[in-house]
């Protein structure tokens, strides 16, 4: 827990993915978790919608905030609010390396495909991270909704 003390004091130590997933599982019941369809500019031309993993809090200081999984962990650990689009700020606040944060954000936002030889192929690494995020945040009551 030394990294948490340092994070609160303003100098976060590096958070590993293993630590992140442990914290995500620990804070899951403090939020309502949903899969929400992507409403981005390219969403209408896709055959299948992308579904983003979002968290919502009923705390008065955050009741209108939509959190990414990284933002939810940050809010629960530090009290700092970073909306869903500022996942990199939330990652920095808890010491999550930028490369890991970007991969987690891509996985949470269902960007789990890559271009190989002119064809779209699954990115198995990001798909595995997405499954891990869903497992960390789902509770028995939410399993059907996620």
Q: Domain ranges in the chain?
A: 12-38+48-137
Q: How many CB atoms lie within 10 A of CB 123?
A: 19
Half-sphere exposure of 116 (CA within 13 A, CB side): 7
100-114: b or e for each residue (b if 16 or more CB lie within 10 Å)? Answer: bbebbbbbbbbbbee
Burial class from Cβ neighbours inside 10 Å (0-12, 13-18, 19+) for residue 47 reads: exposed
Length of the chain, please? 146
Residue ranges of the chain with per-residue pLDDT less than 50: 43, 144-146
* Ramachandran area for residue 91 (φ above 0: left; ψ -120 to 50: alpha; else beta): alpha
3-state secondary structure of 137: helix
In whole angstroms, give the CA distance from residue 144 to residue 118: 35
Measuring CA to CA, which residue among 141, 137, 143 is closest to residue 56? 137
The answer, as to whether pTM is greater than 0.85, is no
């Amino acid at each position: 827990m030394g990294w948490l003390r340092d994070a609160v004091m303003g100098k976060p130590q590096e958070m590993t993915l293993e630590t992140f997933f442990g914290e995500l599982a620990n804070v899951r019941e403090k939020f309502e978790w949903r899969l929400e369809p992507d409403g981005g500019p390219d969403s209408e031309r896709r055959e299948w919608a992308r579904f983003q993993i979002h968290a919502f809090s009923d705390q008065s200081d955050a009741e209108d905030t939509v959190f990414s999984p990284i933002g939810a962990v940050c809010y629960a650990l530090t009290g700092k609010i970073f909306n869903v689009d500022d996942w990199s700020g939330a990652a920095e606040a808890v010491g999550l390396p930028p490369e890991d944060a970007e991969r987690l954000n891509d996985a949470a936002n269902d960007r789990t495909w890559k271009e190989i030889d002119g064809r779209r192929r699954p990115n198995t690494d990001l798909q595995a991270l997405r499954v891990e995020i869903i497992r960390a945040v789902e509770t028995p009551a939410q399993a059907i909704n996620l």
